[in-house]
Amino acid sequence: MTIRVGLIGAGVMGSDHARILSTAVSGVELSAVSDPEAARMARIVETFGPARMFTDPVDLIRDGGVDAVLIASPDQTHGALALACLDVGKPVLCEKPLAASVEECVRVIGKEQAMGKRLVTVGYMRRFDPGYVEMKRRLDGGELGAALVMHCIHRNVAAPSFMTAPMLITNSAVHEIDISRFVLGREVRRVSVVTPRRTRLSNMQDPQIVLLEMNDGVVVDAEIFVNAQYGYDVRAELVCEKGSISLTPPHDVTVAHSGSESFAFPDDWRPRFALAYRSELQAWVGAIGSGVPAGASAWDGYVATAVANAGLKSLASGEPTEVKLEARPACYS
């Protein structure tokens, strides 16, 4: 059976998802695309083959030729579009964040729970990155003892013009929020955002240090620096009682030349997490076929947004902020 996917959003991520779906994922066909800009839709159709074009994303969601929906539109549109997918009972992979507000996330969870069916997956692709998967496997194996501290680094080359200081948390640090929950298997109880000296190459608070206190006492520190200039660089080291587990940068070669050995950093997250994106999409398509969910759930999407929002309060107040979560519905355990 071929799953006909409708893609909402033909920007950077939408185009990349279109490429991966059309070239690297089996059992799927890109059947429709929606974007406010006709030229961007046309580029996807020209490059990746015939797909119907919709100006209104809700028309795409309701269309009989679309079995499942991939949302890659701007962050603030995610929640309403995910709800529209649930209205018609279609599986949806929603790019992170699930929704900008906690209230909207709660509406998605409530609706999914009432339907009695897991239809929403959130695109926290790092859960499919071989490095983080192995980090979790080694921690769960127990040979290194209990986790104590997780150090994370998340650096982008240069922030797009629409990026704001709060977005370092809601758009970038949400990945560390999600992946630390995934690796450690714990919830975040308190968030503090520390603001170091600012780079002169940006007019917002950049970098920021996001500190997550997990409910078993593990502390996660994440440096988020979105104008780091030199390359896209994501690192993590999990310090345990009897050793530590570090991600190794996934490059194909190192080059020895002129007295030094080096490797190249990617420009952004697409090459760095290429394998993760591909596995995430393949797992999503497989899960639609099998009915067994894979990847981050709507609950995970809700928690990431709730923790990020606590981070926003801490950024504004300078104080640590407690995270208060709803009770987890049984369908997400």
Residue ranges that bind ligand ISE, judged by CB under 6 A: 156, 171-172, 175, 226, 269
- Please identify which residue in the block is written with the tokens 């998802």: 17
Least separation in angstroms between residue 85's CB and ligand ISE is 21
Q: How many CB atoms lie within 10 A of CB 198?
A: 15
Name which of 269 and 299 has its Cβ closer to ligand ISE: 269
Round to whole Å and give the CA distance between 215 and 14.
36
Instruction: Choose between 58 and 204: whose C-beta lies nearer to ligand ISE.
Output: 204
CB of residue 92 vs ligand ISE: minimum separation in angstroms?
Answer: 18
Minimum Å distance from CB 110 to ligand ISE? 26
Of 168, 180, 95, 173, residue with least CA distance to 132: 180
Nearer to ligand ISE, 121 or 156 (CB): 156
Least distance in angstroms from the C-beta of 149 to ligand ISE: 22
* Cβ 312 vs Cβ 323: under 8 Å: no
Q: Is the peptide bond before 207 cis (omega within 30 degrees of 0)?
A: yes
Q: How far is the CB of 333 from ligand ISE (least distance, A)?
A: 27
Q: Which is nearer to ligand ISE, 12 or 292 (CB)?
A: 12
Distance of CA 153 to the CA centre of its chain: 16
At closest approach, how far in Å is the CB of 234 from ligand ISE?
A: 7
Q: Judged by CB, which is closer to ligand ISE: 209, or 331? A: 209
What does the radius of gyration of the chain's CA atoms come to, in whole angstroms? 20
Q: Is-contact 57 69, C-beta < 8 A?
A: no
When the beta carbons of 34 and 170 are compared against ligand ISE, the nearer one is 170
Question: Which two three-digit tokens encode residue 90?
Answer: 């279609």
Using alpha carbons, list the distances in angstroms from residue 5 to 10, 28, 63, 120. 14, 7, 11, 14
Distance from the Cα of residue 164 to its chain's centroid:
18
Q: Which residues contact 252 (CB under 8 A, 6 or more apart)?
A: none
Least CB distance to ligand ISE at residue 172 (A) = 3
Pick the closest to residue 182 from 296, 88, 106 (CA basis).
Answer: 296
Residue 94 beta carbon to ligand ISE: minimum distance, rounded to whole angstroms: 13
Furthest CA-CA distance within the chain: 64
| 171 versus 309: smaller Cβ distance to ligand ISE | 171
Residue nearest to ligand ISE (CB): 172
Residue (240 or 301) nearer to ligand ISE, CB: 301
* Polymer length in residues for the chain: 333
